[in-house]
């Protein structure tokens, strides 16, 4: 019997996720607020994926609805006292509340108890993302010191 809404399950990154990540990365709606909004080649993607897959400090989670990949959450140690959070939802599943469900079920400080704060770097025009992060406790937006089109938000407790 199907549950409604279907439960959102979380698992660690696998090598078989590479093609899906490549596809969503190059979707126009997905990449437009990235620091590098241009499409990437399969070689560039392969390098990126290999460094992601071998990174033992950071965490990269894949979320699925009934075994279908719908999104990811990345928590990357960026400096001694902060970890950088980024999230991506497959464009076919955006606008359905999935990112909100991921944030609602994530306890950042349980995932990484060593960090003092979590930060998110978000394009000023990425209203969905700004709304999402601020709703889940990422506050004090300030302009990025180098990338003037980006804001940095921070979260200091769950
Ligand atoms: C940003 C992103 C993660 C949002 O995921 P999503 O599953 O579509 O988001 P949700 O459906 O949970 O909606 C999040 C919030 O945005 C709002 N929203 C949805 N569509 C919107 C739109 N077109 N304009 C403004 N706000 C919108 C929702 O109402 C919700 O806010 P609420 O909780 O106050 O109602 C997704 O669009 C994405 O992956 N974008 C590409 C990658 C990216 O930009 N990542 C963020 C930078 S780290």
In short, whether 96's Cβ falls inside 6 Å of ligand 1 is yes
In short, whether 121's Cβ falls inside 6 Å of ligand 1 is no
Average pLDDT over residues 11-36: 97
In tens, the pLDDT along 102-145 reads 999 999 999 888 899 999 999 999 999 999 999 999 999 999 99
Split at pLDDT 50, 70, 90, the class of 63 is very high
R_g of the chain, CA atoms, integer Å: 15
In short, whether 134's Cβ falls inside 6 Å of ligand 1 is no
* Ligand 1 pocket test, candidate residues 89, 128, 130, most atoms within 8 A of CB: 128
Q: Which pTM value belongs to this model?
A: 0.94
Closest residue by Cα to atom 3, ligand 1, is 88
Closest residue by Cα to atom 16, ligand 1, is 128
Say which CATH topology domain 8-155 has. Aminopeptidase (3.40.630)
> How many whole angstroms separate alpha carbon 123 and alpha carbon 55?
25
Domain range list for the chain: 8-155
> How many whole angstroms separate alpha carbon 2 and alpha carbon 66?
10
Split at pLDDT 50, 70, 90, the class of 3 is low
Sheet holding 68-79, edge to edge: 8-12, 59-65, 68-79, 82-89, 117-123, 150-155, 139-143
In short, whether 104's Cβ falls inside 6 Å of ligand 1 is no
Strands 82-89 and 117-123, how do they pair? parallel
Tell me the angle at which helices 42-54 and 18-25 cross, rounded to the nearest 10 degrees.
130
């Amino acid at each position: 019997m199907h549950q409604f809404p279907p439960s959102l399950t979380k698992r660690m990154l696998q090598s078989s996720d590479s093609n899906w990540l490549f596809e969503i990365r190059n979707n126009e709606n997905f990449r437009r607020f990235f620091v590098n909004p241009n499409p990437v080649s399969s070689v560039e993607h392969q390098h990126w994926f290999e460094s992601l897959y071998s990174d033992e400090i950071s965490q990269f989670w894949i979320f699925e609805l009934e075994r279908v990949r719908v999104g990811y959450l990345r928590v990357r140690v960026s400096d001694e006292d902060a970890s950088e959070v980024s999230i991506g939802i497959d464009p076919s599943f955006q606008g359905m509340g999935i990112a909100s469900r991921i944030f609602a079920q994530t306890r950042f400080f349980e995932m990484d108890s060593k960090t003092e704060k979590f930060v998110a770097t978000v394009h000023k025009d990425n209203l969905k993302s700004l709304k999402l992060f601020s709703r889940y406790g990422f506050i004090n937006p300030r302009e990025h010191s180098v990338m003037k089109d980006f804001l940095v938000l921070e979260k200091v407790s769950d």
